[in-house]
Amino acid sequence: MELTALLLSRLQFAFTVSFHIIFPSFTIGLAAWLTVLEALHLATGRPAYRVVFEFWLKIFGVAFGLGVVSGIVMAFEFGTNWSELSRMSGPIQGPLLSYEAFTAFALEASFFGVLLFGRQRVAPWFYLFSTAMVALGTTLSAFWIMVNNSWMQVPVGYTLENGFFVPTDWAKIIFNRVVWARFPHMLLASYLTGAFCVAATGAWYLLRRKFAPEGRIMLGMGLYLAAVLVPLQIFFGHLNGDYIHDYQPAKFAAVEGRWHDEKPASEVVIAIPDPVTESNKYAVTVPILGSLIGSMSFDSKEIGLTDFPPRDRPPVVIPFFAFRVIVGCGLVMLAIAWIGSYSSARRRIEKNRPLLWLTFLSFPLPFIAILTGWFTAEVGRQPWAIYGLLRTADAVTPFLTTRAAMISLVVFCAVYVFIFAFGILYIYRLLRDGPIGRPPPLASIPDRPMSVIDGHVDAAVDATAPHRATEHLPAGE
């Protein structure tokens, strides 16, 4: 494969966006969970929730900073590597990204400082409000990014004037039904990422026999949340498949590994696609299931890749295997969440060390699913930057040299690996050290019976609270 400025620019953007998406997908879910923890702390007055909140707030702060830094780089890449895309779609993409700054960034910047430094300076209700505003800001950021990307996937509400894509109907762009399949799918993916990271951390503490009260809260809340969200995520994943089937048939055929028209269509469970022979090797198929998945029919005709000219076909291998990785991760997460939740509800999970190990080792699964989901969406969209309207080859910056693209790619890779290795190492150290501080309960809220969510955990937490609340405080506090 010849190294060209186009290929290197694609690799560079794929590298930076893959690094970036790890952190927002984690912090979006974590911000929402922090809001729940703070609300439970205010409602019950139990110190357990406060301890877990303060612990995860430190991790959230580091991950949030890494996400901001890695996201800024991509804005520059639109100018340095993809200036034609920026020029032609600027009347639409520019305002959408501005809306993100005016809403999401404004909320995050306004209230994030309160989260970090305002606990003792504002009323408890305002601190909860600030936490919710940061969570809302992260959600709005995801929303505007998904609106922008969804317009590139399925362009609507525009007209082409003098080489520019000009908006004619913002309501169609923002409320496109594709957005309302893709945005909840991404939001749920972020919530699941936070849930599994929290549950895995709790399982890790229980396996190490450290921070047991906090570990039980993390494990129980993470598994219960995941048990509810995974089925919802599967449903919205199906809705995403519907939009691909209706609007991007070539991508759908590549994901399915279907080379030729079939009626009824079988479903390729696993195979090795061969673009040279336009066939699948060692295929395992299920008859009729392809029609049922594609059109909710037992006898529908499903089109294959050979219906499209070779220059209009996406690469097959990456979206084909990436999609199957997504499905595999989803099924494993569903099994762990349901079995773990049942075992946790029966108060048997601490004795089930194999299940604790499975839960601990599950934390990469949502990250893998998110990355392969983006690979499926973006590689499957090729050869289009704006689907059906602007080819990726025509979106790259004119006169960008291979040498310049190679240098920037190498520099980005080196800087990202250097900086983010330290960031991830610092997060690991925070996780390893655990929630060592313990603040006192709210004096204004009377003690209440144990909550349904944390079960018997509060009793153990409350018993150790006076000692651990003062053990790690600086002198004079």
In 3D space, the residue among 323, 256, 319 whose CA is nearest the CA of residue 291 turns out to be 256
Residue 167's region, left for phi above 0, alpha for psi from -120 to 50, else beta, is: beta
Q: Using CB atoms within 10 A of its CB, is residue 131 exposed (0-12), middle (13-18) or buried (19+)?
A: buried
Query: How much is the pLDDT for 417?
Result: 86
274 neighbors 296 (Cβ within 8 angstroms): no
Give one DSSP letter per residue of 263-287, joined into a string. SSPPEEEEEEEETTTTEEEEEEEET
Instruction: Provide the token pair at 472.
Output: 């790690």
pLDDT per residue as tens digits for the range 278-296: 999 999 999 999 999 988 8
421 neighbors 313 (Cβ within 8 angstroms): no
Instruction: Provide the token pair at 232.
Output: 């919802």
434 neighbors 214 (Cβ within 8 angstroms): yes
Instruction: Provide the token pair at 150.
Output: 């969804």
Give the whole-angstrom CA distance, residue 196 versus residue 74: 28
Query: How much is the pLDDT for 475?
Result: 32
Instruction: Provide the token pair at 93.
Output: 């993409």
Give the whole-angstrom CA distance, residue 38 versus residue 89: 42
Question: Between 457-471 and 212-247, two packed helices, what is the crossing angle to 10 degrees?
Answer: 110
Residue 390, beta-bridge partner list:
386
Query: How much is the pLDDT for 1?
Result: 63
Residue that the structure tokens 């973006």 belong to: 378
Give the whole-angstrom CA distance, residue 416 versus residue 424: 11
Instruction: Provide the token pair at 110.
Output: 């306004």
Low-confidence residues in the chain, pLDDT < 50: 437-477
Tell me the residue type at 442.
L
Instruction: Provide the token pair at 147.
Output: 């609106």
Instruction: Provide the token pair at 132.
Output: 């919710």
42, 72, 144, 145 from 99: Cα distances, Å = 33, 16, 7, 10
Query: How much is the pLDDT for 463?
Result: 39
